[in-house]
């Protein structure tokens, strides 16, 4: 599955990006370039689906793909999918159900949800059996505090809550395929029953550890979608205080700060002075904002006439390489203006 | 005041103390400084965890290993004890500041020796009432201990600054030499000694010489064919834990086996540990990273696929078997040239002489140009390939000679050359010492006499006779061993019933 996801990303990048861009998108780097790439090449759904992925692991997989001849590098070190790789993609079309990934939306709450959900099950099922000493499988303090807070409310009626939680979880699992459901359950830890590690799950299912990570993430994304749609009370609590994060703008923290300033009417020069940042950085932020906020007023930065001129060239050319667009326009406009149009154009397309 | 037994039961749900615990705790409560050696698994931590609940002031525990610290904090929190914290270099700056600000609110504070060199921490500690100062793994004070930590030497000054709280120095393995050294390094403290034997009379010792490491694999398979008991197999290489685990896995359908080493991510490490505790795993292939904080009493079999670097570690690892006092076995597998693995490990523990020479040339050059020069010691680590341990060793030296100040300034100093000679001598001496320790282990393997007698001879004068079988030299035949075998555990493979048993372990109708 991981191979499929990588090939899928590479294919969408249209041999205009390096291997590192794929990594940053999957890993979920909150940098302007990565967010722009994810938007531009329609990869927001897989953004940040594998935040634990280490660069060395990624490189290893990419090397294997290069060696097997499914991907290759062009002279600019841009990566593309070979004919053989494309065949793999068509052959496995629909196999992995990656359409259910919802990376950009769930990037910030996905891990939080998994931690709270897992620790709640472990804690409640042990305590309900009068076993008060167990090693929590989730170590981070914030999650433990969160579970403790809820436990204090539920403690007199743990059984009832567990029954509810079980009902809702079961209902969800029955909407997905058997294999994913089994994997999901194998991972859970409860009273006298410890979940399997990723390594063990990989062996059991005869796939790679990366595949397991992706399968689990996919199932949890579907779970989150299910909770948002059906809103079962016993599950909603895991995210309700963080629901704001779901809809939080898909942007870097630094861009968010810039946004707060330009909203008050500051110009690029003003923001540069206030934030002690370079012009190019502020411009990056504005491009990022244009992607994230469809209603952002960009007329301050580019006139309607200019916008239309650039948009025309973009529309006529499938290639989204900035330098090409710039030369098509006889170098009349700078990169900032072109990127701004691309950002807006991309949004209008959708 | 209630008696110690009642407190023990109330806080820890144990009915009786184990050997030594009560004597040590009584002395501490009476304000007596104590040096104690208790074997691994004898419940060292109770010796300060219980007093922490009884004394008025705070209890400081200095411990060298982050994992030990974290394990204990976790264990105590599990017992519902929340006035506990740990302060170490792995905290983020923000976390550390918050903990330091609130230090007076905690009863039990775990610290690394390095943190005690932090002036903010020390100043804050001087303001609060400290009833007990515990030096865990006290052998680290001694340069003859198997893991000397230079920062432990500075503890004497800390004790003076804190105006002599009651001291408890604890260690699992200390030869008489090391004990003497610990006492002389903490000259200002008058210790009462509590020395308990570390020999284990319920563990039979078996050494198997083979011609090739493939034979080790075959031997392990033969053993596992015969015995299904909770088993740990120790390796010094991460890759090998994975390889052998997969061999065992392929060979035995019904056996549950997993590997464990420092590269697994934290959540997987926790899961594997707990599966072993809950008997979901029969065999675990691990590096020495596994075992700290593992409190499983029915481990029956410990196999050393690779050798550790000294007898002390070997004794600790073997000591994880049979804490329930039932008959258990230690098997050590050796093939020709096996000594090379620990030898390489030893070499990598010290900075190379060449890299030290090169660093000193850089320092000499810097100190000629200006009186004080700002440096980034982490850059040294990159440039000269120093590990964290190497770097700490070197920085300690430079600080002791007044060449490095505040971790970032090189001060022009007349003793730069002198320091170089000293550090090079030190490295040579340490390396000789470590080789000597390894030789002790190798000699033990080659001994023709009783292995039990020889293994513990250095540590105690009287060694108890074996309760069950003794060792291969005394005629122990491994395949005559008849432990109680574990049943094979079936995992249900129906996700709906599995989900139900995880989430609703109780009977719904009640
Ligand atoms: Zn013997």
In this structure, are A324 and A216 located in the same domain?
no
Residue whose entry in the numeric block shows the structure tokens 């003003």: A270
Does residue A102 lie in a domain region?
Answer: no
Does residue A210 lie in a domain region?
Answer: yes
Among residues B472, B467, B450, the alpha carbon closest in space to that of B202 is found at B467
In this structure, are A173 and A265 located in the same domain?
no
Domain-ending residue, one of A97, A122, A138: A97
CATH number of this structure's domain B4-195: 3.40.50.300
In this structure, are A221 and A170 located in the same domain?
yes
Pairwise CB contact (< 8 Å): A190 & B280: no
Give the predicted TM-score (pTM) of the model. Answer: 0.75
Q: Which residues of B touch A213 (CB under 8 A)?
A: none
Q: How far apart (Å, rounded) are the C-alpha atoms in residues A121 and A166? A: 10
* Domain extent for A338: 253-349
In this structure, are A292 and A261 located in the same domain?
yes
* B409 or B420, which is more confident: B420
In this structure, are A9 and A78 located in the same domain?
yes
Residue in chain B lying closest to A163 (CA): B504
Pairwise CB contact (< 8 Å): B80 & A173: no
Domain-ending residue, one of A46, A73, A97: A97
In this structure, are A127 and A214 located in the same domain?
yes
Q: What is the pLDDT of residues A282-312, one digit of tens each?
A: 998 898 888 777 677 888 888 888 888 888 8
Q: What is the pLDDT of residues A71-113, one digit of tens each?
A: 999 988 999 999 999 999 999 988 899 999 988 888 878 888 9
The contacts of residue A284 (CB under 8 Å, 6+ apart) are A32, A33, A255
pLDDT given for residue A105 in this prediction = 82
- Interface pTM, i.e. ipTM: 0.74
Does residue A297 lie in a domain region?
Answer: yes
Structure tokens of B459? Answer: 């540590």
The contacts of residue B452 (CB under 8 Å, 6+ apart) are B199, B205, B463, B466, B470, B471, B474
Domain of A320, CATH number, reads: 1.10.10
Kindly compute the dihedral angle of the four CA atoms of residues B176, B181, B183, B188, in this order, to the nearest 10 degrees.
170
Q: Tell me: domain B203-342+463-503, CATH 3.40.50.300, correct?
A: yes
B82 pLDDT higher than 80: no
Q: What is the pLDDT of residues B320-358, one digit of tens each?
A: 899 888 999 999 999 998 989 899 888 888 899 999 999
Q: Which residues pair with B333 in a beta bridge?
A: B208
3-state secondary structure of B373: strand
Among residues A51, A212, A136, the alpha carbon closest in space to that of B271 is found at A136
In this structure, are A240 and A128 located in the same domain?
yes
For the residues B449-459, what does the mean pLDDT come to? 93
Domain-ending residue, one of A246, A262, A292: A246
Chain A and chain B share a number of CB contacts under 8 A equal to 102
Q: How far apart (Å, rounded) are the C-alpha atoms in residues B427 and B441? A: 21
The contacts of residue A34 (CB under 8 Å, 6+ apart) are A21, A24, A25, A28, A47
Q: What is the pLDDT of residues A169-213, one digit of tens each?
A: 999 999 999 999 999 999 999 998 999 999 889 988 999 999 999
In this structure, are A237 and A119 located in the same domain?
yes
Residue B167 is classified by DSSP as: E
The tally of domains found in chain A comes to 3
Pairwise CB contact (< 8 Å): B503 & A162: yes
In this structure, are A22 and A52 located in the same domain?
yes
Q: Which residues of B touch A166 (CB under 8 A)?
A: 499-500, 503-504
Does residue A87 lie in a domain region?
Answer: yes
DSSP one-letter string for B75-134: HHHHTT--SEEEE-TTS-HHHHHHHHHTGGG-SEEEE-TTGGG-HHHHHHHHHS-EEEEE
Confidence of residue B297 (pLDDT cuts 50, 70, 90): confident
Q: How far apart (Å, rounded) are the C-alpha atoms in residues B35 and B189? A: 10
Q: How far apart (Å, rounded) are the C-alpha atoms in residues A221 and A106? A: 7
Q: How far apart (Å, rounded) are the C-alpha atoms in residues A327 and A345? A: 19
Calculate how far, in angstroms, residue B457's C-alpha sits from the geometric centre of ligand 1.
Answer: 12
Does residue A104 lie in a domain region?
Answer: no
Q: Which residues of A touch B278 (CB under 8 A)?
A: 192-194
Secondary structure in 3-state letters for B214-239? HHHHHHHHHHHHHCCCCEEEECCCHH
- Taking the CA of residue A240 as centre, how many other CA atoms within 13 Å lie in the half-sphere pointing to its CB? 8
Q: What is the pLDDT of residues B190-214, one digit of tens each?
A: 999 998 888 899 999 999 999 998 9
B112 pLDDT higher than 80: yes
Does residue A301 lie in a domain region?
Answer: yes
Q: How far apart (Å, rounded) are the C-alpha atoms in residues B223 and B412? A: 63
In this structure, are A242 and A257 located in the same domain?
no
Does residue A165 lie in a domain region?
Answer: yes
In this structure, are A229 and A260 located in the same domain?
no
In this structure, are A78 and A163 located in the same domain?
no
pLDDT given for residue A350 in this prediction = 32
Chain A nearest-CA distance from B278, in A, is 7
B385 pLDDT higher than 90: no
Chain A nearest-CA distance from B14, in A, is 14
- Of the residues B243, B290, B497, B499, the best mutation for testing chain A's interface (the one with the most A CB atoms within 10 Å of its CB) is B499
Q: Quick one: chain A helix, strand, coil %, rounded to 5? A: 65, 0, 30
Pairwise CB contact (< 8 Å): A166 & B266: no
The contacts of residue A306 (CB under 8 Å, 6+ apart) are A333, A337
CB A158 within 8 A of CB A182: no
């Amino acid at each position: 599955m991981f191979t499929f996801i990588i090939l899928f990303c590479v294919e969408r990048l249209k041999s205009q990006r390096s291997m590192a861009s794929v990594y940053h998108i999957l890993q979920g780097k909150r940098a302007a370039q990565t967010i722009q790439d994810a938007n531009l090449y329609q990869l927001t759904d897989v953004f940040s689906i594998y935040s634990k992925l280490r660069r060395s692991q990624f490189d290893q997989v990419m090397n294997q793909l290069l060696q097997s001849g499914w991907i290759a590098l062009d002279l600019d070190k841009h990566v593309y999918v070979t004919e053989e790789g494309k065949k793999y993609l068509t052959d496995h079309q629909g196999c992995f159900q990656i359409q259910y990934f919802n990376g950009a939306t769930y990037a910030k709450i996905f891990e939080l949800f998994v931690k709270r959900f897992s620790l709640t099950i472990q804690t409640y099922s042990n305590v309900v059996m009068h076993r008060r000493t167990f090693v929590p499988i989730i170590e981070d303090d914030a999650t433990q505090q969160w579970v403790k807070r809820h436990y204090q409310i539920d403690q007199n009626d743990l059984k009832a809550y567990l029954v509810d939680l079980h009902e809702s979880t079961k209902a969800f699992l029955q909407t997905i395929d058997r294999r994913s459901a089994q994997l999901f359950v194998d991972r859970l830890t409860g009273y006298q029953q410890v979940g399997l590690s990723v390594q063990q799950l990989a062996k059991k299912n005869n796939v790679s550890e990366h595949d397991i990570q992706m399968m689990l993430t996919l199932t949890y994304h579907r779970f989150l979608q299910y909770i948002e749609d059906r809103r079962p009370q016993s599950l909603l609590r895991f995210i309700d205080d963080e629901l704001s994060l779901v809809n939080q703008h898909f942007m870097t923290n630094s861009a968010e700060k810039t946004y707060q300033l330009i909203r008050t009417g500051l110009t690029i020069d003003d923001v540069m002075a206030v934030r002690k940042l370079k012009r190019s950085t502020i411009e990056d932020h504005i491009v990022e904002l244009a992607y994230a906020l469809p209603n952002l007023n960009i007329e301050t930065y580019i006139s309607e006439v200019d916008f239309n001129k650039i948009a025309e060239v973009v529309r006529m050319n499938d290639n989204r390489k900035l330098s090409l667009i710039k030369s098509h326009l006889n170098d009349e406009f700078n990169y900032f203006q072109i990127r701004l149009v691309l950002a807006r154009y991309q949004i209008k397309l959708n | 005041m209630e008696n110690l037994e009642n407190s023990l039961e109330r806080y820890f749900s144990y009915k009786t103390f184990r050997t030594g615990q009560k004597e040590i705790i009584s002395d501490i409560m009476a304000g007596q400084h104590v040096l104690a050696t208790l074997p691994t698994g004898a419940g060292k931590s109770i010796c300060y965890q219980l007093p922490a609940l009884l004394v008025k002031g705070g209890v400081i525990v200095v411990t060298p290993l982050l994992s030990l610290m974290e394990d204990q904090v976790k264990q105590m929190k599990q017992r519902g004890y929340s006035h506990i914290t740990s302060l170490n270099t792995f905290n983020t700056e923000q976390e550390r500041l918050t903990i330091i600000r609130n230090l007076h609110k905690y009863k039990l504070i775990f610290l690394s020796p390095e943190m005690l060199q932090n002036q903010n921490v020390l100043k804050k500690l001087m303001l609060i009432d400290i009833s007990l100062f515990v030096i865990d793994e006290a052998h680290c004070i001694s340069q003859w201990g198997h893991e000397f930590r230079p920062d432990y030497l500075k503890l004497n000054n800390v004790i003076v600054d804190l105006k002599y709280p009651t001291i408890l120095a604890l260690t699992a393995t200390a030869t008489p030499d090391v004990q003497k050294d610990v006492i002389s390094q903490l000259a200002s403290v008058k210790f009462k000694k509590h020395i308990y034997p570390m020999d284990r009379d319920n563990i039979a010792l078996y050494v198997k010489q083979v011609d090739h490491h493939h034979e080790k694999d075959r031997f392990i398979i033969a053993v596992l064919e015969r015995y299904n008991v909770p088993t740990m197999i120790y390796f010094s290489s991460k890759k090998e834990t994975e390889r052998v685990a997969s061999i065992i896995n392929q060979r035995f359908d019904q056996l549950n086996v997993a590997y464990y080493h420092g590269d697994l991510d934290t959540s997987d490490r926790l899961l594997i540990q707990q599966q072993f505790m809950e008997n979901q795993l029969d065999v675990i292939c691990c590096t020495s990273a596994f075992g700290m904080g593992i409190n499983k009493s029915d481990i029956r079999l410990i196999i050393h696929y690779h050798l550790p670097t000294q007898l002390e570690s070997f004794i600790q690892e073997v000591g994880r078997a049979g804490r329930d006092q039932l008959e258990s076995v230690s098997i050590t597998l050796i093939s020709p040239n096996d000594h090379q693995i620990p030898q390489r490990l030893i070499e990598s523990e010290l900075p190379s002489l060449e890299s030290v020479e090169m660093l000193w040339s850089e320092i000499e050059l810097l100190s000629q140009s200006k009186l004080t020069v700002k440096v980034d010691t982490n850059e040294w680590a990159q440039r000269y390939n120093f590990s964290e341990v190497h770097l700490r060793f070197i920085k300690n030296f430079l600080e002791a000679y007044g060449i490095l100040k505040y971790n970032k300034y090189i001060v022009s100093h007349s003793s730069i050359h002198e320091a170089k000679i000293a550090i090079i001598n030190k490295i040579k001496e340490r390396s000789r010492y470590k080789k000597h320790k390894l030789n002790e282990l190798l000699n033990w393997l080659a001994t023709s006499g009783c292995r039990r007698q020889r293994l513990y001879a250095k540590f105690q004068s009287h060694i108890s006779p074996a309760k069950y079988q003794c060792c291969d030299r005394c005629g122990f035949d491994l395949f005559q061993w008849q432990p109680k075998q574990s049943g094979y555990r079936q995992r249900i493979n129906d996700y709906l019933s599995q989900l139900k048993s995880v989430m609703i372990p109780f009977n719904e109708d009640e």
